[in-house]
Amino acid sequence: MNLKLAIQKSGRLHEDSIKLLNDCGIAVKSGNNQLRAVAENFPLEVYFLRDDDIPQYVEDGVAHIGIVGENVLFEKDKEAEIVEMLGFGKCRLSIAVKKTDAYSSPSFLEGKKIATSYPVLTQRFLDDNHIKAEIHEISGSVELAPGIGLADAVCDLVSSGSTLFMNGLQEVQSILKSQAVLVRNKSLNDEQQKILDQLVFRIRAVRKAKNNKYVLLNAPNSSLQQIIDLLPGMKSPTVLPLANGEWSSVHSVLPEDEFWEKIEALRKAGAQGILVVPIEKMII
């Protein structure tokens, strides 16, 4: 039996989804406009779909699981349960107005026209702030709407903000932070859930590895305890004696977001010969 996974056929999440599967040791070939592929070495069948359709396919059970952006999942409001945050495809859904507009609060939008591809999320934001505004649903090129007089503001996905800037707009209010998530149908049987658990185990091992670095260094024994205190590791650092009896070799794992700060502190404590090695998989 194969677990059926729906991923984006093309677009910003497609390549990262395929890479994640490959990093998990699951070989899936995509290309030539194919709509379906079977993994060579894992009980997984992959469907390549429009991202907007993925929540519906998962809710209906046509696909058992899917990889989709939170923005699409919440906009479609389907019965698909989030299993795992995947950490890629990060963006935000934001309100943007003309650069010349003085936006100070959501009340600026009262009575205005807002162009968006996300009418459900936009309306929810307006309702939460007790704002009455007119929503114009547009399927693409939303940022053009204020410049051609179709709308006073837009609610659109933002990554760098460069597209808004080039169209004379300024981002003024973020209403949703989004990233790719793994979702599941709520009625998986025991066998399907078992395969999903195996997949999630691999995904977590890959993600944990990417967020950490393996560090090896030489430490003078006179500063060994100070250096150990800086390197908690997964449990505790590994300490091995060197041929020079006054020095030890210390091995540990550092989180990516603490890396440079810790390295500088280690140098000040007397560590030398610091080597940093990427981790391919990390099982805890």
The yes-or-no verdict on residue 33 having pLDDT over 80 is: no
pLDDT given for residue 32 in this prediction: 65
**Is residue 155 domain-shared with residue 189, that is, in the same domain?**
no
**Directed axis angle between helix 14-23 and helix 190-210, to 10°?**
90
Question: Beta strands of the chain (E only): which ranges?
Answer: 3-8, 36-38, 44-49, 65-69, 80-85, 91-98, 113-116, 134-137, 153-158, 169-178, 180-185, 212-220, 238-241, 247-255, 272-278
- Summarised one tens digit per residue, pLDDT across range 130-148 is 999 999 999 888 999 998 9
- Summarised one tens digit per residue, pLDDT across range 202-224 is 999 999 888 888 999 999 999 99
- Summarised one tens digit per residue, pLDDT across range 174-199 is 999 999 999 999 999 999 999 999 99
Mean pLDDT for the stretch of residues 261-274: 92
**Is residue 153 domain-shared with residue 40, that is, in the same domain?**
no
- Summarised one tens digit per residue, pLDDT across range 13-32 is 999 999 999 999 999 877 66
Q: Are 109 and 131 in contact (CB under 8 A)?
A: yes
Give the integer Cα–Cα distance in Å for 44 and 243.
51
**Is residue 247 domain-shared with residue 189, that is, in the same domain?**
no
Mean pLDDT for the stretch of residues 64-77: 97
- In percent, the amount of the chain with pLDDT more than 90 equals 76
Q: Is there a domain that residue 136 lies in?
A: yes
**Is residue 42 domain-shared with residue 114, that is, in the same domain?**
no
The yes-or-no verdict on residue 49 having pLDDT over 90 is: yes
Mean pLDDT for the stretch of residues 52-81: 96
**Quick check: helix, strand or coil at residue 136?**
strand
**Is residue 217 domain-shared with residue 264, that is, in the same domain?**
yes
Q: Which domain covers residue 268, as residue numbers?
A: 212-278
pLDDT given for residue 73 in this prediction: 97
Q: Is there a domain that residue 57 lies in?
A: yes
CATH number for 164: 3.40.190.10
CATH number for 244: 3.30.70.120
Q: How many helices (H) and strands (E) does the chain have?
A: 8, 15
Give the integer Cα–Cα distance in Å for 208 and 85.
12
For residue 283, what pLDDT band results from cuts at 50, 70 and 90?
A: confident
**Is residue 85 domain-shared with residue 184, that is, in the same domain?**
yes
**Is residue 108 domain-shared with residue 142, that is, in the same domain?**
yes
**Is residue 73 domain-shared with residue 184, that is, in the same domain?**
yes
**Is residue 84 domain-shared with residue 183, that is, in the same domain?**
yes
Q: Is there a domain that residue 283 lies in?
A: no
Count of domains forming the chain? 3
**Is residue 118 domain-shared with residue 150, that is, in the same domain?**
yes
* Burial degree of 8 (CB within 10 A; 0-12, 13-18, 19+): buried
DSSP letters for 16-76: HHHHHHHHTT------TT-SEEE-SSSSEEEEEE-GGGHHHHHHHTSSSEEEEEHHHHHHH
Question: Residue 68 is encoded by which pair of tokens?
Answer: 């989709």
Domain boundary among 209, 231, 259: 209
Question: Residue 247 is encoded by which pair of tokens?
Answer: 């020095």
Mean pLDDT for the stretch of residues 3-18: 93
> Alpha-carbon dihedral of residues 67, 69, 70, 76, nearest 10 degrees?
-90
